Chain A
Amino acid sequence: MDAFSVWPEEEVACRRWPEGAVFYRESDGALFALDPWAADCLSALESAQHPLTAPDLRDRLCALAPPDEALPDAAWFDDLLSQLAEQGIVQVAHA
């Protein structure tokens, strides 16, 4: 299973608001707006300081989420991370 980490600040810049976040990809100047959920995932990935798999990421968010909040399953996180990797917002650290 792939593990993911965020690109270093020199490659991808980010600005966050409560309504979501916008990422700027240095290589071609592209901008991506992410909804708050995806932005939270990125924050968790950043704070982990080591690559995370989709189940790892879900576990981390489960620990932070209110007890009554149902999180999507690990496949959803896997899909999200794959999309973010395709957009160049996160990198595949190792498989």
Chain B
Amino acid sequence: MRSGAPRVADLSRRELAARLAGPGLRLALPPFVFHIHSPLPVVAEGIAAVYAQHAVLDVTDSFADFHVSVRPQRRWFRPVCVFRLDGFQPFTPLAAGEAFAFLEWGMNWCITGHAHGWLTIHSAVLERGGRCLLLPAPPGSGKSTLCASLMTDGWRLLSDEMALLDPVSGLVTPAPRPVSLKNASIDLVRRRVPGAVLGPLAHDTMKGTVAHLRASADSLARAHEPALPAWVVFPQYQAGAPLTCTPHPKPQALVELAGNSFNQHLHGRRGFNALCDLIERSQVFDLRYSDLDEALPWFRELAAA
């Protein structure tokens, strides 16, 4: 975090809402800066909850990578909201109640669609003991629930959504933002993590009910420390299944990681080599689990080995 700059928590709720509705809020979300406009109360509520510890930058003295807005388009009959980047509307409108989740998804899109200095991979990333763990997985695999649980079990969150891999150094750059929880995992995390701070619930989204969990203080404090990958684990939640872990063949892992990359094609041979190096230096596993109380000790042992 930038020392000296006020944090979101330093602004009163009224001041935060006024900035969002007026000149915009310039928010440091390392390694990016977003300039956000929105008159919608649920957006202010979400930012106050899950970005409380993030720095607010002076508009006249900083550069914003992305200028985004979430604005109402129809206020009275089934109100909807629209996400824009630099005035461009990349998505169809969503229900106004989804505005904060829409902002989160829109910001993810800004990064994966534009930050091509990195090779971006759809994956959760966490770090422990200086080494980082990638959890690439399709929706429904329990990735975010596992990611949230690991974050509260001593792992540092680098990202719930994307690995920002430097194709030259092989390091993953942290981009710690809230963890997106869906449906039953929202209550699960509430039960397991006393004091967990969640943003507003968005009901009836395409993914069901969605809420965002604030990143841990340690993750934010160390948001400028990249880490070298050491493990790639493909998780699969399966109700009632005993914990099983099997080595994942590296050639297949490489092809799957490339398939999870948003921009591998733009990096050409350098991107291929970066993915090869990542796989080469990592232990790669398939992990099937149903019980977090079994899975978390397995990850602790992995990190301790």
**Do A15 and B264 contact each other (CB < 8 Å), given the known contacts A24-B269, A26-B269, A31-B272?**
no
- Closest Cβ of chain A: how far from B293's Cβ, in Å? 32
- Asked if B273 is at the interface of the complex by the 8 Å CB criterion, the answer is yes
Bitwise, A3-26 to B at CB < 8 A (1) or not (0) is: 000000000010101011110101
Report the contact-size class of chain B (Cβ under 8 Å from the partner). 10 to 19
- The reply to whether B249 and A20 contact each other, CB–CB distance below 8 Å, is yes
> Roughly how many angstroms separate A21 CA and B249 CA in the complex, as a whole number?
10
Q: Which B residue sits closest to A15, measured CB to CB?
A: B276
**Do A24 and B255 contact each other (CB < 8 Å), given the known contacts A19-B249, A29-B265?**
no
- Please tell me which one of the listed residues A13, A19, A26, A29 contacts residue B251 in the complex, with CB atoms under 8 A apart: A19
**Do A22 and B268 contact each other (CB < 8 Å), given the known contacts A15-B254, A33-B255?**
no
A-B contact count (CB 8 A): 41
- The reply to whether B249 and A31 contact each other, CB–CB distance below 8 Å, is no
- Closest Cβ of chain A: how far from B276's Cβ, in Å? 4
- Asked if A44 is at the interface of the complex by the 8 Å CB criterion, the answer is no
- Asked if B280 is at the interface of the complex by the 8 Å CB criterion, the answer is yes
- The reply to whether B276 and A22 contact each other, CB–CB distance below 8 Å, is yes
27 contacts between A and B (CB under 8 A): A13-B269, A13-B272, A15-B272, A15-B280, A17-B249, A17-B250, A17-B280, A19-B249, A19-B250, A19-B252, A20-B249, A20-B250, A20-B251, A21-B251, A22-B255, A22-B276, A24-B272, A29-B264, A29-B265, A29-B268, A29-B272, A31-B254, A31-B255, A31-B258, A33-B251, A33-B254, A33-B255
Q: Could you list which residues of chain B lie within 8 angstroms of chain A, going by C-beta atoms?
A: 249-252, 254-255, 258, 264-265, 268-269, 272-273, 276, 280
